[in-house]
Amino acid sequence: MRPKVIPVLAALLLSGCAPVQTVVNPAQLPAATDFGAHANPMEWWYVSAYLPAEGLALHWAHFRVQDSRVPVPLMISHVAVTDLRTGQLTFLEQPAGTGEVTSPPLRVRQGAWTLTQAGPEPMAPLSLKAGPLNLTLTPVKGPVLHPPGFSGSADTGVLFYQGITRLDLTGTVNGRAVRGQAWLDHQWGNQIPGRSVLWDWFSVHLDGGQDLMVYRVRRLDRSVAQLIGSVVEPDGRVRAVPGEVWDSPSGRRYTVGWRLVSDEFDLGVQAVRREQELLSRSRRIEYWEGPIEVTGTWGAAPAVGTGMMELVSGPWSP
């Protein structure tokens, strides 16, 4: 019976049945280099990349779910690869089970899937081996804590939010040589995605060297709990985006065309491919994840960029 116990417990934790822990204090922010595991109900490490020259988009996610009713943390991981030349979307999942996270150097493992850092230094390269992915990720910029350092609110739960916004990517996808740039996120806290909160998230690499992150956290009634944005400059400095205002052009469940406006920029965001809905049996949520292209202005200058977008719609029952 034990093989059935772990998936059931994972589903309970991800459905929001786990007791909310109160160890997440937004007034005590972690270091930007804090990539290790934490004693919180929810934590994840996440790599995404849009490779226009290769006609590919990909993301890998590793979730660490922890609760006092379970003797060890549960791990869940998945990989999605979109071949934009053929229109094929491949989504692979590992069922809930055991694994490990250690740091420094960072090592994340579930089964044969691993993310391993070459050394304890924050800028040390990382190796990602997961299903069709065999990649080397070399940080171009150092780790940052996205202002204000967390996502969410008291009523939705809070996740600390740090990562590396630009990494050089080389390696293979399904045995095919690729290169480009990637984005690495790390979040942890007491927020349960798809169950206690929904969100819309954008990561953009601009041709001018800036990296833009915009994050809208929504309650289950679709009201906005938080809207944050950050810019990581070409030299690695991070700052909050001033005066941002969102204008969604459509009422679709997955709004794949957006306009992001602030005092500093006016950017149009468009999905490269619409058919990017992912139905996760392990996480029990439905969401859209795929590549985006960005055009508009930054200050007085034209701006062009590429990135990934994630739109969490809500719970899903297989």
The predicted model gives 201-208 an average pLDDT of 95
> 């069709």: which residue's tokens?
132
99-113 burial: b if 16+ Cβ within 10 Å, else e: bebeeeebbbbbeeb
3-state SS, residue 67: coil
| pLDDT score at 229 | 87
Please give the angle made by the CA atoms of 244, 298 and 159, to the nearest 5 degrees. Answer: 40
Domains with residue ranges and CATH for the chain: 2-19+33-315 (2.40.370.10)
Element (H, E) at 50: strand 42-51
| pLDDT score at 185 | 98
> 């960072």: which residue's tokens?
106
pLDDT digits (tens, 9 = 90+) for 244-299: 333 333 333 477 778 888 889 999 999 898 888 888 888 788 788 999 999 999 99
pLDDT digits (tens, 9 = 90+) for 34-78: 999 998 999 999 999 999 999 999 999 999 998 777 788 999 999
In the chain the first and final C-alpha atoms are separated, in Å, by: 21
Element (H, E) at 304: strand 301-315
Q: For the whole model, what pTM was predicted?
A: 0.82
Beta carbons of 97 and 111 less than 8 angstroms apart = yes
CA distance 120 to 6: 32
| pLDDT score at 19 | 45
> 């400059």: which residue's tokens?
233
3-state SS, residue 112: coil
* Residues belonging to the chain: 318
CA distance 13 to 2: 17
pLDDT digits (tens, 9 = 90+) for 138-191: 999 999 999 999 998 888 889 999 999 999 999 999 999 999 999 999 999 998
Q: How far is CA 184 from CA 108, 119, 140, 269, 291, in A?
A: 13, 17, 11, 20, 15
| pLDDT score at 20 | 42
